Structure 1
Amino acid sequence: MLVDYSNTVLRPRPIAILYSNTNFYSNILQETYALSKRLFIQLKRRSSTFFAGIIQPLLWLILFGALFSNVSGEQFGTYLKYNTFLSAGVIVFTAFTGGLNSGLPIIFDREFGFFNRLLSSPLNSRFSIFIATSYFIIVVTLIQISSIILCTELLGVHIPNIKGFFIIFNIIFIVTIGITLISISLAFLLSGHIQLLALILVINLPVLFSSTALAPLNIMPNWLKIIASVNPLTYAIETIRYVYLSVNVNCSIPIIQTIWGNLSIAKIFFYLIELDVIIVLLLLQLLKNKFR
């Protein structure tokens, strides 16, 4: 007796599915490695951009620190020396500037036609482009931050313990991811690198002066306090500033008093991670048509 198998549904074996998924993710890792390696080769050939990312923040630290060196801490509403006060702001804004510039390689690739070739290549996932760019920016930023922390140590501004280093690098990691994703989104929304550079120039200084990088909240006018309390960089700066001052870091006690209430390190981490998740979701929604 013959059995008719024409309507039989053949289901893949679990082992085959597992192998297929493993192969898919390994290909994405290989793509990410190749794309990020290309960015590191470009950085090696144009190393001046890397060193500029270290020298510029140090100039801010040295020049601004010297400018306000004779001003007493009480006038700024704090008992800190201004160099110590400024160090946290310099560290965060190094990460902010690096993340903000991360869209430039993509927009240059668009203008030179390389990005179209990349999109037409048989990539397993085109989001490996985002992963590679984010990985590159995070590694470069952390190296620059490490150099700046070493220089601040030489200037007499010390981090008390290893836990402080861990908190600083985690804060920088979270901030860099968020700003990098925003910059990459702008690279697709704007028509060219001139527009992106102009927007970076417009954004940079207002965000700097509307945070607590240069002055504490308690000496700001009320309208600026509201803006600074909304600015996520204020939370990152205050966390790093607290780490510089505390031998025993307590993540549950309030470290900053905003118009919205008192915030601890644990709450700040939660808010910054939540903000990154929102940025990722918006990015996926915004760019899904471009990656079909």
Structure 2
Amino acid sequence: MRTALAQTWWLTHRQLAALVRQPAVVVISLVQPAVWLLLFGALFRRVVELPGFGGGSYLDYLVPGVVVMNAVSVNMWSGMGVIEDIERGVTDRFLVAPVRRGAILTAPLLAGAVSTALQSAVVVLLGMAAGARPPGGAAGTAVLVAVSVLLGAVFTAMSNAMGLTLRQRESIIGFSVFLLLPLTFLSSAFMARDLMPGWIRGVATANPVDWALRASRAALAGDRDWASVLVHGGSLLALAVAAAWLSTLTFRAYQRSA
């Protein structure tokens, strides 16, 4: 057990160190959510005046949407690192080294979780600097960060599975471009559910992005709905486990073909 933990730590450290060596990537990935906050926050500021929206500040409503959207956007690219390791022979060297297979699979998920948690916290701070004051306080913010990590794990595992299976960067790019905006706009990221067309509300019910948003907003509300947090957070956890299992299957298939 101690060996497996140590190997997982070092492989996770390897991925985080690679990210730290590219500060421009981190900065650019945070510029986009900052633009969303400032642009959408100003553009749709008066939407809260619509009957049925629920009142309050639109910026308070927007912050969870931007955090969740950023978690999806950042983690969809995880498969690019998998492809790079395959092309450079790093993955094959790991396979012949005395490294636990579980450590190889777990490290990208942990690195993605750490990166997502830090970026989510920064987005929340940016929102607060812009004037957001969600009544849920620290507990609600902790739930928001946690569900963003779970959602990020889903897309990290899916992207890694695509990288192991297709081994083409174009596939990862197409996957990211195709899914990001539809998943976001077919959710309550920018508009209250009660004001959505019926068919979009129906699609959102099966959208993991909306699960993350409903769990987050239930925790950030002044009158917290912990039942909703558990239901939607639990659904995200189950999906993350399923996606990790799929990633494991594709890794085993890669082992047999290597």
How does the TM-score come out when normalised to structure 2? 0.90
Whether contact under 8 Å (2:165, 2:254) holds in the other structure is no
1:76 to 1:196, Cα distance in 2 relative to 1, 3 A: farther
Is the counterpart of residue 224 in structure 1 residue 196 in structure 2?
Answer: no
* Structure 2: gaps (5+ residues): none
Whether contact under 8 Å (1:158, 1:244) holds in the other structure is no
1:224 to 1:165, Cα distance in 2 relative to 1, 3 A: closer
Query: Structure 1 residues 33-42 or 201-210, which shifts more?
Result: 33-42
Deviation at 1:223, TM superposition (A): 2.2
In the alignment, which residue of structure 2 is the partner of 1:194?
170
In the alignment, which residue of structure 2 is the partner of 1:215?
191
Deviation at 1:272, TM superposition (A): 1.7
Deviation at 1:75, TM superposition (A): 5.7
Paired residue secondary structure (1:212)? coil
Equivalent residue in structure 2 for 1:273, among 200, 225, 237: 237
Equivalent residue in structure 2 for 1:57, among 14, 33, 57: 33
Is the counterpart of residue 120 in structure 1 residue 93 in structure 2?
Answer: no
Q: Which amino acid aligns with 1:217?
A: R
Is the counterpart of residue 151 in structure 1 residue 115 in structure 2?
Answer: no
Deviation at 1:112, TM superposition (A): 2.5
In the alignment, which residue of structure 2 is the partner of 1:245?
221
More helix by share: 2
Deviation at 1:190, TM superposition (A): 1.6
Q: Which amino acid aligns with 1:266?
A: L
Q: Which amino acid aligns with 1:273?
A: L
Deviation at 1:70, TM superposition (A): 4.0
Whether contact under 8 Å (1:108, 1:193) holds in the other structure is no
Q: Which amino acid aligns with 2:94?
A: L
Is the counterpart of residue 284 in structure 1 residue 248 in structure 2?
Answer: yes
In 2, Cα distance between equivalents of 1:225 and 1:70 = 22
Q: Which amino acid aligns with 2:226?
A: C
Query: Structure 1 residues 279-288 or 53-62, which shifts more?
Result: 279-288
Paired residue secondary structure (1:79)? coil
In 2, Cα distance between equivalents of 1:73 and 1:291 = 56
| Aligned 1:139-178 pairs, distance under 5 A | 139-160=114-135, 161-178=137-154
Paired residue secondary structure (1:145)? helix
In 2, Cα distance between equivalents of 1:154 and 1:200 = 30
* Structure 1: gaps (5+ residues): 1-24, 253-263
Equivalent residue in structure 2 for 1:236, among 200, 212, 218: 212
Aligned length: 255
Deviation at 1:137, TM superposition (A): 0.9
Instruction: Summarize deviations over 1:14-36 as a string: whole Å, max 9, x none.
Output: xxxxxxxxxxx222222222222
Is the counterpart of residue 74 in structure 1 residue 50 in structure 2?
Answer: yes
Equivalent residue in structure 2 for 1:179, among 137, 145, 155: 155
Deviation at 1:287, TM superposition (A): 3.4
Q: Which amino acid aligns with 2:240?
A: D
1:284 to 1:116, Cα distance in 2 relative to 1, 3 A: closer
Deviation at 1:241, TM superposition (A): 2.3
Larger radius of gyration: 1
Q: Which amino acid aligns with 1:267?
A: V
Q: Which amino acid aligns with 2:244?
A: V
Instruction: Summarize deviations over 1:172-227 as a string: whole Å, max 9, x none.
Output: 23222222111111111123112211221111111111111121222222222221
Deviation at 1:100, TM superposition (A): 1.3
Instruction: Summarize deviations over 1:124-158 as a string: whole Å, max 9, x none.
Output: x2231221111111111111111111111111212
Give the percent of matched residue pairs that are identical in Structure 1 and Structure 2: 25
Whether contact under 8 Å (2:219, 2:226) holds in the other structure is no
Deviation at 1:117, TM superposition (A): 2.1
In 2, Cα distance between equivalents of 1:89 and 1:70 = 17
Whether contact under 8 Å (1:95, 1:176) holds in the other structure is yes
Query: What is the Cα-based RMSD across aligned positions, in Å?
Result: 2.0
How does the TM-score come out when normalised to structure 1? 0.80
In 1, Cα distance between equivalents of 2:16 and 2:230 = 34
Deviation at 1:61, TM superposition (A): 0.9
